[in-house]
A and B are shown apart, each in its own frame.
Chain A
Amino acid sequence: MKRLTQMAGAVVTAPLGWLAALIDPPLRLWQRVAGQKGMVGFFLLPNMAIFGVFVLFPLVVNIAYSMTTGGALFLADREFVGGAQYARLLTCQNYLDIRTCQEDQFWTAVRNTGTFVVLQVTLLVICATATALILNRELRARGFWRAVFFFPVLLSPVVVGLIWRWILDRNGVLNAGLVGVGLDPVNWLLDRNFAFAAAIGVTIWAHLGFFALILLAGLQAIPRDLYEAAEMDGTRPARVFWRITLPLLMPNLLVVVVLALIRAVQVFDEAYVLTGGGPGTATLFLTQYIYEVGFASLLKNPGLAAAASILMGGVLVVLTLVQLALGRRNERRGKLK
């Protein structure tokens, strides 16, 4: 038995020994050259290398792609056209009428995405806050209810889209129910407004638990004595919410809003599986437009798709910076008070 334990130990430690032998010489060399403080750089190096290869390099390549045209994959084989792809995307005879734009479907996607972001994020934050407030109360089987709301987060977005498609489809569960009670079936996903509302509702259903969890953590960090003092003063619950809960929850809310905004601008998977961008182009969002142009169409145009993705990335950066600036301002105000 002892011999067996020794053998098992050797099996575990031997690879570690080889790994140490591999890393040790360059580590010592670096320390000798860069000194103790320079070791920070050594440990950051792998991360920076991965960031460089998988984020920075593709970003630079994408920018380069956006200035080229043709179907070739290698940059060297592609024709340089400068800002022509951006000009194509941004050219409209009348910016108030999408139909006059050269790439009218890009602008349709921009309009749909903008509307989606405003409505979905607003509703999501309200619903997540309400859910977190309810789950923070002394409920019976509180753990169970928390799990119920968190469960959809565990599902793959494609599964979420499929489940709701089976429910809302012409031959779906909802219509089976309607027919069962003697009503006429409705082609839910062929109604422009309903399909758009469904895309909002389904994405809220899918992500609510994650955001509610962040807010729940924030709620639990608020000192209970503040509520006890308010209760002793006979403060109304609404006033407690506006004067205590909301201000103290603001850092978490800000995180939720930033993450929800970024997620909403990138909406694709659930909506694509649910509606396919239809009816017509009612739920065509920016990411689907980029996917269609760059990957799905029979004659692909990677340059145009790259330009659209750079524009979308720019909007995301601006949104994030605005949110962070607002956050810092709130923080400063909080400190002054």
Chain B
Amino acid sequence: MRTKLTGATLAALLMSSTAMAGDVRMMWYSDGVEGEVMKDLVARFNAANPGINLILDEVAYKVVQEQLQIQLEAGDGPDIARVTNIKTLAPHWLDLTPHLSDADYWRTNFGAHADWMREDGSDAITGFMTQLTLTGGFANATLFEQAGVALPGAGATWDDWVNAADQVAKSQGTAAAFAIDRSGHRISGPNVSYGANYIGPDGMPLPVDDGVKAFAAKLVGWVEGGQMLKDTWVAASGSTYRAAADDFINAQIPFYYSGSWQIANLSTKIGDGFDWVATGSPCGTAGCSGLAGGAALVAVKYTKNAAEVAKVMEFFAQEDIVKEFSERTLFLPAHAGVAAKGGLDWQTDDPNVKGALDKFVAAAGEIEPGAAALPAWKWASAYYGAMVNRISQVMAGEMTLDEAYARIDSDIAEQVAAAK
């Protein structure tokens, strides 16, 4: 009797730690309201597919950034994940091609960004972008109006924008004129606008060039001059990410450079507090480029239920689902068919949102080739991290710009050597 009981207990314990066949776990983070939309879509999927149990694991963005890679390196992790560090982790993505009912549909509609999420030289279909994003600015139109300062128009340079915002800041007593998120990704569009090129002919990182130096020197000067909010970049070390969205939302800065993914966040939190507009990317000497990007929903190759995973991915990749997701989350769709047909019915009452989305769609046409290549470049993360780390040290008075440039080059070289 005792033996039977012990055996039954052990069997129960073993069963409790084993995933059931048909379970598909999806790791999901949210920037805005997309978690709520996703929950609704997951419920619909589960209702329509009784043989598959899709489980949505909502986590913080930091978890995706810091813990997912470790899980993947261990050959573990979720079956599907929503990620932004897509290219670096590409060796862990599953090639869905043999499991898809219509691979051509994927190539036609998501093919433009397929290289962003697969290893160099591969033609695998690993997932799709849940949204396209573009870096760009936002201006507090109410503060500009109260200060009697006109919003700089098309073709305005970074200096024009900073000077105008500085006039507003001085007039309205805000903490600073503007802020850029503490992120190498965020300053790469502006760098390219000043002529920067990160990628060598062999695909390896180039040393810091005059384009990077031009914008980095401006950034440091703006912090020293008090125009750029010092907190965002200086009150942290290493490559830590910091967004200045709350400072813009709280009307502490009249101009904010971030990206299109902030639209839902700004709409929800600002409400009718003040009028705001998207501005696109200010111009440099070589262009007015932002940097495209976005979050991808990718399949993980360590899944035990590849067929079910493909079915889930096919559900979310459907044209009508992508359209609905974009309309409800206020994200730019990455589906060629949805984008071509247009006519998206944005689900918002906020009059600022539609104008902002239109502006970002228009700004997408101004992406310079140097910026367009970065999302699919393997060493972009190394470049981004080194720039943030060292430029913020210059802002804190710990080294000169020339020392920082040398350090950025050596940091990138060391990271590339260590990652190989």
A-side interface residues toward B, CB under 8 Å? 18, 21-22, 69-74, 88, 99, 104-105, 170-171, 187, 189-190, 192, 275-284, 288-289, 292, 295-301, 303-304
Q: Given A280-B398, A282-B396: A298 and B381 within 8 A (CB)?
A: yes
Q: Which of B5, B85, B237 has the most CB of A within 10 A?
A: B237
Chain B residue total in the interface (Cβ 8 A): 44
Scan residues 364-420 of chain B and give those whose CB is less than 8 A from a CB of chain A: 381-382, 384-385, 389, 392-393, 395-399, 403, 407, 414-415, 417-420
Contacts of B417 in A (CB 8 A): 69
CB distance from A40 to the nearest CB of B (A): 28
By beta carbon, the residue of chain A nearest B397 is A280
By beta carbon, the residue of chain B nearest A289 is B238
By beta carbon, the residue of chain A nearest B418 is A301
CB distance from A275 to the nearest CB of B (A): 7
CB distance from B14 to the nearest CB of A (A): 17
In the assembled complex, B17 has its CB within 8 A of some CB on chain A? no
Contacts of B414 in A (CB 8 A): 88
A187 to B234, CA, bound (A): 12
A321 to B155, CA, bound (A): 67
Q: In the complex the two chains form, is A288's CB within 8 Å of B237's CB? A: yes
Complex partner residue of B234 from A99, A190, A288, CB under 8 angstroms = A190
Q: In the complex the two chains form, is A299's CB within 8 Å of B88's CB? A: yes
Q: In the complex the two chains form, is B238's CB within 8 Å of A277's CB? A: yes
A98 to B391, CA, bound (A): 18
CB distance from A318 to the nearest CB of B (A): 27
Q: In the complex the two chains form, is A187's CB within 8 Å of B88's CB? A: no
A12 to B395, CA, bound (A): 66
A299 to B87, CA, bound (A): 11
Contacts of A170 in B (CB 8 A): 175, 231
A25 to B170, CA, bound (A): 82
Across chains A and B, the number of contacting residue pairs, with CB separation under 8 Å, is 113
In the assembled complex, B13 has its CB within 8 A of some CB on chain A? no
In the assembled complex, B102 has its CB within 8 A of some CB on chain A? no
Contacts of A18 in B (CB 8 A): 2, 5-6
Contacts of A283 in B (CB 8 A): 237
Q: Given A73-B70, A298-B381, A301-B418: A21 and B2 within 8 A (CB)?
A: yes
A22 to B392, CA, bound (A): 61
Q: Which of A70, A284, A297, A298 has the most CB of B within 10 A?
A: A298
User: Could you write out 22 A-B pairs with CB less than 8 Å apart?
Assistant: A18-B2, A21-B2, A72-B73, A105-B389, A170-B231, A187-B230, A187-B231, A190-B235, A275-B235, A276-B237, A277-B240, A279-B235, A279-B396, A282-B396, A288-B237, A292-B238, A295-B66, A295-B70, A296-B65, A296-B66, A296-B239, A297-B385
Known: A70-B420, A278-B234, A300-B69. 4 other contacts (CB 8 A): A281-B237, A298-B239, A298-B385, A301-B415
In the assembled complex, B336 has its CB within 8 A of some CB on chain A? no
By beta carbon, the residue of chain A nearest B2 is A21
Contacts of A104 in B (CB 8 A): 407
Q: In the complex the two chains form, is A288's CB within 8 Å of B419's CB? A: no
Q: In the complex the two chains form, is B385's CB within 8 Å of A22's CB? A: no
CB distance from A226 to the nearest CB of B (A): 51
Q: In the complex the two chains form, is A71's CB within 8 Å of B419's CB? A: yes
Q: In the complex the two chains form, is B419's CB within 8 Å of A299's CB? A: yes
A21 to B230, CA, bound (A): 67
Contacts of A72 in B (CB 8 A): 73
In the assembled complex, B15 has its CB within 8 A of some CB on chain A? no
Complex partner residue of B235 from A22, A276, A297, CB under 8 angstroms = A276
A147 to B127, CA, bound (A): 56
In the assembled complex, B74 has its CB within 8 A of some CB on chain A? yes
Contacts of A295 in B (CB 8 A): 66, 70
By beta carbon, the residue of chain B nearest A300 is B69
By beta carbon, the residue of chain A nearest B5 is A18
Contacts of B6 in A (CB 8 A): 18, 22
CB distance from B387 to the nearest CB of A (A): 11
Complex partner residue of A280 from B2, B175, B393, B415, CB under 8 angstroms = B393
Q: In the complex the two chains form, is B382's CB within 8 Å of A278's CB? A: no
CB distance from A187 to the nearest CB of B (A): 7
In the assembled complex, B151 has its CB within 8 A of some CB on chain A? no
Contacts of B73 in A (CB 8 A): 71-74
In the assembled complex, B124 has its CB within 8 A of some CB on chain A? no
Contacts of B240 in A (CB 8 A): 276-277, 292, 296
A279 to B239, CA, bound (A): 13
A292 to B385, CA, bound (A): 11
CB distance from B410 to the nearest CB of A (A): 8
By Cβ-Cβ distance, the 3 closest A-B pairs, closest first, are A280-B396, A277-B237, A73-B73
Q: Which of B74, B238, B393, B419 has the most CB of A within 10 A?
A: B238
In the assembled complex, B344 has its CB within 8 A of some CB on chain A? no
Contacts of A190 in B (CB 8 A): 230-231, 234-235
By beta carbon, the residue of chain B nearest A104 is B407
In the assembled complex, B141 has its CB within 8 A of some CB on chain A? no
Complex partner residue of A298 from B85, B237, B397, CB under 8 angstroms = B85
CB distance from B381 to the nearest CB of A (A): 4
A83 to B415, CA, bound (A): 18
Q: In the complex the two chains form, is A298's CB within 8 Å of B88's CB? A: yes
Q: In the complex the two chains form, is B396's CB within 8 Å of A281's CB? A: yes
Scan residues 195-242 of chain B and give those whose CB is less than 8 A from a CB of chain A: 230-231, 234-240, 242
A278 to B420, CA, bound (A): 31
Contacts of A69 in B (CB 8 A): 417-418
Contacts of B231 in A (CB 8 A): 170, 187, 189-190
CB distance from A114 to the nearest CB of B (A): 17
Q: Given A104-B407, A299-B88, A299-B415: A284 and B238 within 8 A (CB)?
A: yes
CB distance from B180 to the nearest CB of A (A): 16
CB distance from A300 to the nearest CB of B (A): 7
A190 to B175, CA, bound (A): 14
Q: Given A21-B2, A300-B69, A301-B418: A292 and B235 within 8 A (CB)?
A: no
Q: In the complex the two chains form, is B418's CB within 8 Å of A70's CB? A: yes
CB distance from B398 to the nearest CB of A (A): 5
CB distance from A137 to the nearest CB of B (A): 42
A105 to B238, CA, bound (A): 9
Q: Which of A18, A281, A297 has the most CB of B within 10 A?
A: A297
CB distance from A100 to the nearest CB of B (A): 11
CB distance from A283 to the nearest CB of B (A): 8
Q: Which of B73, B236, B418 has the most CB of A within 10 A?
A: B418
Q: Given A99-B399, A99-B403, A281-B398: A70 and B419 within 8 A (CB)?
A: yes
By beta carbon, the residue of chain B nearest A283 is B237
Q: In the complex the two chains form, is A298's CB within 8 Å of B238's CB? A: no
By beta carbon, the residue of chain A nearest B238 is A292
Contacts of B399 in A (CB 8 A): 99
A284 to B74, CA, bound (A): 29
By beta carbon, the residue of chain A nearest B393 is A280
